[in-house]
A = this chain, B = another copy of it.
Amino acid sequence: ITKVSPAVTKQIQSLTTSGSESTTTETDESVEQTEQPETKKSKFDGKPWYERIYWVTTLFLFGTPLLSLYGILTTPFNAKTYITAFLAYYIAGIGITAGYHRLFSHRSYEASWPVRLVLMLMGTSTFEMSVINWCLDHRAHHRFTDTDKDPYNIKKGFWHAHMGWMLFKRDEEPDADVSDLMADPILAFQHKYYAPMALTLGFGVPTLICGYFWGDWKGGFFIAGIASKVLMMQCTFCINSLAHYLGEATFTDQRTPRDSPITSLVTFGEGYHNFHHEFPYDYRNGVHMSAYDPGKWLIYFLSLFGATYNLKRFPDELFSKGKIQMAEKKIQKEKEALFWGTPLTMLPTYDTEEFKAKTSKENQKWLIINNIVYDIAPFIHKHPGGDRFILDYIGKDATKAFNGIVYNHSVAARNILDTLRVGIYKPNK
């Protein structure tokens, strides 16, 4: 249940029916027009730069890598601690992809409350804000992808989409509806107590484990706690930067999201982002069996026990349609790069007398095939069948000879022929 934002009031050009078979496909141009070109006034105009910055976030994002480095360099290596760090990293990542993203943001499946609770807790440890905050940005990102109202608008640059967007205060709240999430008591609780929960789960628990079980308190804090989160954050940030940058436009190139197995490896399986933006309510990201998508695997596995259910899938037919449309576009482009002959509508018409005059009086090397007039002068001496034949047909209709009486020419020969056409033949009755 999405709320219609009253803020969206700009005019959109009402598309008139084009008469072509697809009546609804937007051109890229008209999509551009739904962006907001006005230069708005900012409430920060005239204020000093440091008042625009979210200082807590900024210090956290730049401080944690330094603390990690310090920890790694000064703590003796302990394999158990590093394994714990890896697990903390992976658990947090799955919390984001299977929980924050696919469950809460997109409602691409439903889950029993214990699953919801655990995924929420896993995601909490990432320091990526409460589900409610995260989804507000993310839903706006989907609804307004690549526009000014997209919080991580890649058009403002890779860096902005990756981290920059988090450092500055914004003029407007993201325009999206999260009332469904606010109605969930688990999520409302998390939203309220986010900071203490994140510190406990993100830093406290790994430190405790490493300290209590094998006495590595320092490694627990700096490596299993902080460093694992630093790595994890950089990885998930790639979903907003790299996934809008690297790879194939498999289903549509209307917007920036791209499909890439490389991005997938880095982002816990969120690398098929062209798919995801086109089919956001599908619980999968890498649809193909071979695709690395641990979120998909987990969700599917849990569904076998009824812990998750109502897994949403877009029909395969829609995937095929997208791919077909992209293939058509590609071919169209390749076609446009080649010369296929003067368009028929631009050709002059010749009647019997005019044609005869051209070839006899003006000595043009013209002949007729299928009521089209060809000037074969540039091709006579290149003709693989020899020049004698062609010369015999100058001033005549070579339709039957060309199509089989003498030799049924190849498609390649017909492609050459097309480039030689100079007129349309309208014989006098």
Measured CB to CB, the closest approach of chain B to A411, in angstroms, equals 4
Question: How many residues of A are counted as interface, with CB atoms below 8 angstroms from the partner's CB atoms?
Answer: 75
Question: Complex formed: what's the CA distance from A407 to B149 in Å?
Answer: 12
User: Across the interface, do B251 and A412 meet the contact criterion of CB distance under 8 Å?
Assistant: yes
Complex: chain B residue closest to A343, CB-CB: B21
Question: Complex formed: what's the CA distance from A421 to B23 in Å?
Answer: 10
User: Across the interface, do B14 and A410 meet the contact criterion of CB distance under 8 Å?
Assistant: no
Measured CB to CB, the closest approach of chain B to A336, in angstroms, equals 10
| A74 within 8 Å of B (CB atoms) | no
Measured CB to CB, the closest approach of chain B to A148, in angstroms, equals 13
A-B contacts, 22 of them at CB < 8 A, read A1-B386, A2-B385, A2-B386, A14-B400, A16-B371, A17-B424, A21-B343, A22-B414, A23-B370, A23-B421, A24-B414, A24-B417, A24-B418, A26-B408, A34-B408, A251-B411, A281-B384, A320-B338, A321-B338, A324-B334, A324-B335, A327-B327
| A317 within 8 Å of B (CB atoms) | yes
| A340 within 8 Å of B (CB atoms) | yes
Residues of B within 8 A of A71 (CB): none
* Residue from the set A23, A278, A388, A400 with the largest chain B CB neighbour count within 10 Å: A23
| A31 within 8 Å of B (CB atoms) | yes
| A322 within 8 Å of B (CB atoms) | yes
Measured CB to CB, the closest approach of chain B to A422, in angstroms, equals 12
User: Across the interface, do B12 and A404 meet the contact criterion of CB distance under 8 Å?
Assistant: yes
Measured CB to CB, the closest approach of chain B to A385, in angstroms, equals 6
| A389 within 8 Å of B (CB atoms) | yes
Interface flags, A327-340, vs B, CB<8A=1, else 0:
11001001100111
User: Across the interface, do B15 and A318 meet the contact criterion of CB distance under 8 Å?
Assistant: no
Using known A-B contacts A30-B403, A372-B24, determine if residue A322 contacts B411 with beta carbons closer than 8 Å. yes
Question: Complex formed: what's the CA distance from A278 to B409 in Å?
Answer: 9
Question: Complex formed: what's the CA distance from A14 to B405 in Å?
Answer: 11
Instruction: Please list the 5 inter-chain residue pairs (A to B) with the smallest Cβ-Cβ separation, ordered nearest first.
Output: A34-B404, A24-B414, A281-B384, A17-B371, A252-B411
Residues of B within 8 A of A372 (CB): 17, 23-24
User: Across the interface, do B26 and A414 meet the contact criterion of CB distance under 8 Å?
Assistant: yes
User: Across the interface, do A331 and B331 meet the contact criterion of CB distance under 8 Å?
Assistant: yes
Question: Complex formed: what's the CA distance from A331 to B330 in Å?
Answer: 11
Measured CB to CB, the closest approach of chain B to A346, in angstroms, equals 11
Question: Complex formed: what's the CA distance from A314 to B415 in Å?
Answer: 12
Residues of B within 8 A of A73 (CB): none
User: Across the interface, do B324 and A412 meet the contact criterion of CB distance under 8 Å?
Assistant: no
User: Across the interface, do A25 and B414 meet the contact criterion of CB distance under 8 Å?
Assistant: yes
Query: For chain A residues 359-413, which have a beta carbon within 8 Å of chain B?
Result: 369-372, 384-386, 388-389, 399-400, 402-408, 410-412
Question: Complex formed: what's the CA distance from A400 to B11 in Å?
Answer: 8
